[in-house]
Chains A and B, each alone.
Chain A
């Protein structure tokens, strides 16, 4: 029985830790598929986390917070899109600027609004669902039926996006823009417009990832609370070879690796704790090294599109 408790605890924690990474990774997949890399999603997540808390506190509903976080994510991403798509600036550099902008905006915004009250602010956050009353089943109950609504939304949108890439005209357009923008252009597609919109949508996902952290996993905002999860999301995208469903699964692997290190730490107190803490990052680095070998990177990733004259 102890093993069962251990296992279900491990998986549940893994899913909680994976959810924000997965949401951001789904968005980043879309963005990269269309040819735009955004290394600033960490900054977008932070703004999303802050806005979610602010609006949830003010409105009393975490759903309003989530909506606000998605809109804030889109607004942040519109900056990125304006610079890299319209002005054709270097994508990595712009992304780093976005990261710091998000870090600063969220921290400063929190101080101006809720920060004065300290950590004692009561945040009306999301609670885990209990679908069909099955959440109490052993092991699979909490995992399949007792997650946060956002977790199900993440899985559903990953599947929807994979289907979109595979079976819809829109998917073909997105892939064409990311692979051979010149060809897409001559087929009459507005390359920059498609890119712009996809980057905006990606920002919405990152904002939702931030909202998960601050209103579902925890109820509250602290500065820099994402702690590198935006970068893990980028690693997920690469390792999943730009497939949104795989990206969610890879995020789950990272999450479970993190949940496992947490538990191993207290089981083996004699081993230095640093050894365990690095586990998810080791998984990330190894995955990048492995992933880069069989690359399916969108051919025009990182390259601005200049309409031929």
Chain B
């Protein structure tokens, strides 16, 4: 009798242990809060989707300062997590510093372009292409030929977007004047709003913004100033349906889905994955109510442009 109980208990424990071994553990380390409505929210959505698709156990750490990054990464790696995802280019350096000590853990850096044998991969989106599309849309919708981009802090992806925005606008209408300013913060939405207002006062009638919470400030200023806006990162249409023409989508959830999927089927390589339109890493949200607000020929030019970017035919992408 006792043997039977012991045997059953042992079997249960072993079954539990083997199930444990199959369930991969993934940690997502975020620089900001998951409620920011853009950058961190997108990552959170991605990991939630991955949780539904794959047999994984997920830990999320928010509001990680630069100084805390290494410690956070180490603690998950020491806990035996199979994958630690750092969301943001600032994770690149700390990851490179420590990855060799934890060969059993995959380190993935989002929105950066670094890799190292045997366990560092990165997933980046073509922010420049997204900006290019946003610029093209802005130029076609602008009535006074002045458009503006308000970035949080000029980090590489935001600079790429900025450059793409200007080039895309000029590709559609060469005479477009592109204004640009930086908030100096990812979270100061009041200042983001005021900077946007100042660009509107200078005549910009289509604005776009990159960063985290500061984007909300730009959209609200555009609403109050009665001008149009283009969202970034994820579809923000619902926030201001009469103001937001479209959104230059940065599908960071695709990065996370790919990273987790590749780890699970064993095809993840220590390399840089750059995801453009073709890979679903970026996109342009539907124009919805704004579809009919520009002449059909302009709409056709826009569609052609998106096709050309997808096919790699546009030469001056950043």
Give me the interface of A with B, judged by CB distance under 8 Å: 5-6, 9, 13, 16-17, 20, 107, 110-111, 115, 118-120, 213, 217-220, 222-225, 227, 258-259, 262-263, 265-266, 269, 273-274, 277
Contacts and interface: CB of A to CB of B under 8 A. Distances in A.
A77 to B, nearest CB: 23
Interface majority SS (helix, strand, loop, mixed), chain B: mixed
A217 B239 CA distance: 17
Contact of A17 (B180, B189, B190, B238): B190
The 6 closest A-B pairs by CB, nearest first: A119-B37, A277-B184, A227-B188, A222-B213, A273-B182, A115-B35
A157 to B, nearest CB: 21
Contacts of A17: 190-191, 194
A13 B194 contact: yes
Nearest to B35: A115
Nearest to A5: B201
Interface of B: 32-33, 35-37, 41, 63, 148, 154, 179-185, 187-191, 193-195, 197-199, 201-202, 213, 216-217, 220, 236, 238-239
Given A13-B197, A222-B33, 20 more contacts: A6-B201, A16-B190, A17-B194, A20-B190, A118-B41, A119-B239, A213-B190, A217-B190, A218-B217, A220-B216, A222-B189, A222-B213, A223-B33, A223-B35, A224-B187, A259-B194, A266-B148, A266-B202, A273-B154, A274-B184
A219 B239 CA distance: 11
A266 B36 contact: no
Nearest to B216: A119
Nearest to B215: A119
A266 B220 contact: no
22 contacts: A16-B194, A17-B194, A107-B33, A213-B190, A217-B190, A218-B189, A218-B190, A222-B216, A223-B32, A227-B185, A227-B187, A227-B190, A258-B194, A259-B194, A263-B198, A266-B148, A266-B179, A266-B198, A266-B199, A266-B202, A269-B180, A273-B181
A258 B197 CA distance: 13
Contacts of A16: 190, 194
B181 A266 contact: yes
Contacts of A222: 33, 35-37, 187, 189, 213, 216
A225 B187 contact: yes
A7 to B, nearest CB: 11
B191 A220 contact: no
B180 A266 contact: yes
A274 B154 CA distance: 10
A222 B39 CA distance: 13
Contact of A273 (B41, B184, B216): B184
A218 B220 CA distance: 7
A263 B197 CA distance: 10
B35 A13 contact: no
Contacts of A120: 236, 238-239
A219 B220 contact: yes
Nearest to B220: A218
B247 to A, nearest CB: 13
B36 to A, nearest CB: 7
A29 B220 CA distance: 32
Nearest to B187: A224
Contacts of B238: 120
A218 B193 contact: yes
B182 A225 contact: no
Nearest to B38: A119
B269 to A, nearest CB: 34
A61 B299 CA distance: 42
Contacts of B191: 17, 227, 258, 262
Nearest to B238: A120
Contacts of B184: 273-274, 277
A111 B194 contact: no
A110 B33 CA distance: 11
Nearest to A265: B181
Contacts of A13: 194, 197-198
A115 B191 CA distance: 22
Nearest to B192: A218
A9 B201 contact: yes
Contacts of B37: 118-119, 222
Most buried by B among A9, A219, A227, A258: A227
A141 to B, nearest CB: 15
Nearest to A260: B198
